[in-house]
Chain A
Amino acid sequence: MSSHTSHLREPLVTGNPALAQITEDIVGPLERPPTKLWLAGFGLATAVLGMWLVAVSYEIYNGIGTWGLNKTIGWGFDITNFVFWVGIGHAGTLISAILFLFRQKWRTSINRSAEAMTLFAVICAATFPLIHMGRPWFGAVWFVPYPNMRGPLWVNFRSPLLWDMFAISTYFTISAVFWFIGLVPDLATVRDRATTRIRKTIYGALSFGWNGSNKNWSNYETAYMLLAGLSAPLVLSVHTIVSMDFATSVIPGWHTTIFPPYFVAGAIFSGFAMVLTLLVIARKVMKLEHMITIHHLENMCKVIVATGMMVGLAYSTEFLIGWYSGSNYEGYTFFSNRATGPMAWSYWTMVSCNVISPQVFWFKKMRTNPTIIFIMSIVVNIGMWFERFVIIVTSLHRDYLPSSWAMYSPTWVEYTTFIGSFGLFFFAFLLFVRVAPVVAIGEVKAVARWAQKGSAHGH
């Protein structure tokens, strides 16, 4: 085996595990009873999800008057959380689709969990505009253009909010399809190892009768590539359209043409931070350190530095234009309000978390230390939440008319709904790691062989 080891580069999966060993490492944990750590995590997530249910039911029963919103600040925690969660989802598609198209083979160990993260993050995101409608049972239906008895009175296709509905629902659907197609051969692997009748039936039904036929693989690989090709522009469009919810308005601080690329860079930044948070825990708990290696974490830290500087550039561009445009309102919004006004603390939290602290990743020692990486990933998550808070709330609370200026103080319902959404996310994620292979078995096997043989085949 050693004679085949590549001397040109580090292997992507360390230890040259035999193919059966890869199957055992990934599927084995699904077949054993859950560990105490998993049970504890799942219990905690369920409790937090319970909090979410209480807060959301209370809000729906009593109306959004239970939130701290007022006439001036019509969007607060709800839309901040929506943009926060959608942004997190983006890293999953970036890793699974864009890195696939760029032939970045290191993605194979992490793409499955990143895709799952996307799905659950988008679900968390979608709950916020829904409950924000106050009467979600109407709101959800009125967004859909169906033949109706209201005239027929149709939805307004010139509104970015409607574009957003199409973007988010398409994004969720395509991400789910992409994720499931990736799972089918792996579910067949689980099926063929199953010993109990119930596992055989469930995994048998879900694996669609997959038997590893190369005629099937041929079509499968084509479909996978097509979906990657479709997802790559899709993910860019989603956050572009989310940014248009703001950019097409006339509020200083929102009305900005750099919003689409700025939001996309921010989404990748926050998403990679969330992937790191999850993977640093998952590789430790599930003992997958030889598959999700320090090399993977290091690569992601490099992406964090790059995208962190991109958002830093966007923050400073906003100030430049605030001054250069000569518009009093723009200048006021950035210089007198955002950076030095009553909510300046949130602005400086954002800058220190997103622009200053990621600079530690210039040092290899920091990029390869899981503890530092974990702490930094949390810091970036906090910073990116504040970015959306700064954009939404500080822009709204002081606009053109001083007589309508107001302050925003969120209520316990908003805090609980936000914290509870993490319960929803981790509840779904922890269930996923128990029922489906958390690493793409087929793709890792292909990479493991490739690493053994070095670049002789040159794929």
Chain B
Amino acid sequence: MHAQAHEPSTYLVGIFTEEDQIMTVTQAATDAGLPVYDTYTPYAVHGLDHAQKLPRSKVTFVAFFGGMCGFLTAALLQSYTQGITTPFLSGWPLNIGGKPYLPWTAFVPVFFELTVLFAGLSTAVGMFAINGLFPGKKAKLLIDGVTNDRFAIAIDPKGKNYDEAKVRGLFAAHGAAEVAFIGESA
């Protein structure tokens, strides 16, 4: 990625109207070794990740880590509050009907709920963080119509093997509706 923090970058963008066109043009562009910056679609187009050679999403690791934290929290919270006394913190072990102080089977529902809660919240936060999205963010490089009915591919002119004529030829060959240089909004 060639993310410029201060100077907004400009990309050569081809805009298409069909899902099939964005698939084939992206596949052709990556096959030709052109510097594909990203593609933009109104819905998740299946197979486009592969055509674009995107790595596997890291959100799964975040979710797993969050889930583990949730499980640990539930384990510590329940064992501390229900029976364990430590030199620093002491709870108030309650004798309820002569039942054991640390009945792990009775703790299972809360183990499960907190694992799911932490995993779910970290999945959501992790996804937005990895994508660099946050409440109130202004959309960068917003191509007209990609949230409605257009499919776009952006080629990075500062990238390796960039060749404007070749890119324009490729876009035309796949039936681009429009080709233009589009800059990120500051």
Contacts and interface: CB of A to CB of B under 8 A. Distances in A.
A230 B60 contact: no
Interface in B46-80: 46-49, 52, 54, 57-60, 63, 77-78
B54 A153 contact: no
A342 interface: no
Given A174-B120, A446-B44, A219 B130 contact: yes
A223 interface: yes
B88 interface: no
Interface in A150-197: 151-158, 160, 162-163, 166-167, 170, 173-174, 177-178, 180-181, 184-185, 188-189, 191-193
Given A174-B120, A210-B139, A210-B147, A189 B42 contact: yes
Interface range on chain A (Cβ under 8 Å from partner): 35 or more
Interface stretch (A16-24, A375-383, A406-414): A16-24
A19 B120 contact: no
B116 A155 contact: no
Interface stretch (B27-35, B102-110, B156-164, B166-174): B102-110
Given A211-B146, A220-B131, A158 B103 contact: yes
A341 interface: no
B123 A230 contact: yes
A151 B121 contact: no
Contacts of B110: 157, 162-163, 166
A145 B77 contact: yes
A217 B121 contact: no
A153 B59 contact: no
Given A20-B148, A188-B139, A205-B136, A213 B38 contact: yes
Contacts of A244: 109
A162 B78 CA distance: 12
A23 B42 CA distance: 10
B99 interface: yes
B177 interface: no
A32 interface: no
B44 A217 contact: yes
A42 B31 CA distance: 56
Contact of A170 (B41, B42, B114): B114
B45 interface: yes
B149 interface: yes
Interface in A421-452: 441-443, 445-446, 449
Interface string A217-244: 1111111001100110110010001001
A61 interface: no
A445 B95 CA distance: 58
A237 B44 contact: no
Contact of A157 (B45, B106, B134): B106
Contacts of B59: 219, 222-223, 226
Contact of A156 (B40, B77, B94, B130): B94
Contacts of B60: 222, 226
Interface of B: 19, 38-49, 52, 54, 57-60, 63, 77-78, 81-82, 91-92, 94, 96, 99, 103, 106-107, 109-110, 112-114, 116-117, 119-121, 123-124, 126-128, 130-131, 133-143, 146-149, 152
5 contacts: A166-B110, A170-B116, A185-B43, A208-B128, A208-B137
Interface of A: 18-20, 23, 145, 151-158, 160, 162-163, 166-167, 170, 173-174, 177-178, 180-181, 184-185, 188-189, 191-193, 204-223, 226-227, 230-231, 233-234, 237, 241, 244, 441-443, 445-446, 449, 457, 459
